[in-house]
Amino acid sequence: MVLGYRKGYSFERQVKKLLENAGYYVIRSAGSGVDGLSPDLVALSTTKKFAIECKAIESDYLAIEVPKMGRLLSFERSTGLPVYVAWKRGREEPVLVPLSMFEKKEKSFTLRRADARFGMEFHDIG
């Protein structure tokens, strides 16, 4: 298993457990990182429903390629489920940011870590 994949999968499992502990039923999309057709996780409760794309990236900014962001936005429109990106950097607490916080560039949509602080922390979603 490649290190980056293992790190990403480990973060997906961590997010899944955090959501389950908050009372959500969580579905992991098998192969989501391979085909990119859907977000990594779908979280459901009786009152809230949303999807999450997980990114464990050490950089000061997060970039999602235009085609991948297009698929996430399409998923959001067609399902009515808001899509958030869960971003974990090093030992910092992960944050959840909506797709609308990303800035469109030529080849990717980007988010600076400084701007990610305006997202939600996991204890905010309970």
Q: Which two tokens stand for residue 126?
A: 């309970």
Active-site annotation holder among 32, 38, 45, 78: 32
Q: How far apart are CA 24 and CA 1, in angstroms?
A: 29
Residue type present at position 12: E
> The domain containing residue 46 runs over which residues?
3-124
- Kindly tell me if the per-residue pLDDT of 3 is higher than 60: no
Q: pLDDT of 7-21, one tens digit each?
A: 557 899 999 999 999
CATH number of 23's domain: 3.40.1350.10
Q: Which pTM was predicted? A: 0.87
Number of domains present in the structure of the chain: 1
Residue 10 falls in the annotated catalytic set: no
